[in-house]
Amino acid sequence: MAVDYKTLKKGGFMRQKQKNNFSLRLRVVGGNLTATQLAKVAEVAEKYGDGYVHLTSRQSVEIPFIKLDDIEDVKNALAEGNVEPGVCGPRVRTITACQGKEICPSGCIDTYALAKELDERYFAKELPHKFKFGITGCQNNCLKTEENDLGIKGGMNVSWRESDCIHCGLCEKVCRSKAITIENDEIKIDKSKCNFCGRCVKSCPTDAYDTVEGYIVSFGGLFGNSINKGETIIPFIDNKEKLFEICDTTINFFNENANPGERFKFTLDRVGREKFVDKILEVYNG
């Protein structure tokens, strides 16, 4: 019986050099697996693989040396530990994320919660080519969001609250973009320089800043045979539903305009980036 390698790859089973052996990519959301899931992965790797796993560059886990005849048994065994196969090929891939504000002192947004929402909304959606999301919690950019087709960076839009300020000057000192200056005991924020990093807020001993959490989105990143840094179109999105609308618009634009096998960056080059920018601004301002 002929082996349907295309369907197997779609379900996360990637052919190895060794005949009838597959490296199984698992579904990992935002880089997180529970201890129970890890135990099941280890059990399956020991019983059906070669006793080890590979951690991919995009926060997934692969179990090499899965035999063709064991594929159904492997899927059933993993399901017992609430572990699912991932995907490969022309579709939305694993949603990657750093630890975000729930763990990291620098984080501005809950990256894992957002990764789960994006995963539920888009994971494995069929497209002309692969499409990658990446989420990072702040301007430290540990996840390198601009490498992704759509990158999301957490940020804070801040405003000074004079009534609680003790004029210690810490916020001015920690502002790396030199957006904050102090004149006659009054704090001035140059919004044209502010990069929404939130360092002023996190340094303030009296919480003298009002904040709005939000997102800085980049489009068209690529890091492979060709390299391209994703670019922003709008400076800051302060509403999650608006963020999802922009994500929907991006996915739909790619689906409607891309040629088979064409990454998002090259679709923008061919169709015209200005056409995409108009779509995004229409959603953002609508």
pLDDT in tens, 47-80: 999 999 999 999 999 999 999 999 999 999 999 9
pLDDT at 2: 83
CA dist., res. 230 & res. 9, Å (int): 28
Q: How confident is the model at residue 96 (pLDDT cuts 50, 70, 90)?
A: very high
Mean pLDDT of the chain: 97
CA dist., res. 101 & res. 192, Å (int): 25
Q: Alpha helices, DSSP H only, in the chain? A: 5-10, 35-48, 71-80, 111-122, 170-174, 199-203, 240-257, 264-271, 273-285
Q: How confident is the model at residue 1 (pLDDT cuts 50, 70, 90)?
A: low
Q: Where in the chain is the domain with CATH 3.30.413.10?
A: 96-285
SS3 250: helix
pLDDT at 22: 98
pLDDT at 244: 98
pLDDT at 274: 98
Q: How far, in whole angstroms, is CA 277 from its chain's centroid?
A: 21
Q: Are strands 21-25 and 13-15 parallel, antiparallel or unpaired?
A: antiparallel
| pLDDT higher than 70, residue 92 | yes
Q: Which CATH superfamily is domain 96-285 in?
A: Sulfite Reductase Hemoprotein, domain 1 (3.30.413.10)
Instruction: Give domain 5-80's CATH architecture.
Output: 2-Layer Sandwich (3.30)
Q: Where in the chain is the domain with CATH 3.30.70.3340?
A: 5-80
pLDDT in tens, 111-165: 999 999 999 999 999 999 999 999 999 999 999 999 999 999 999 999 999 999 9
* pTM assigned to the model: 0.95
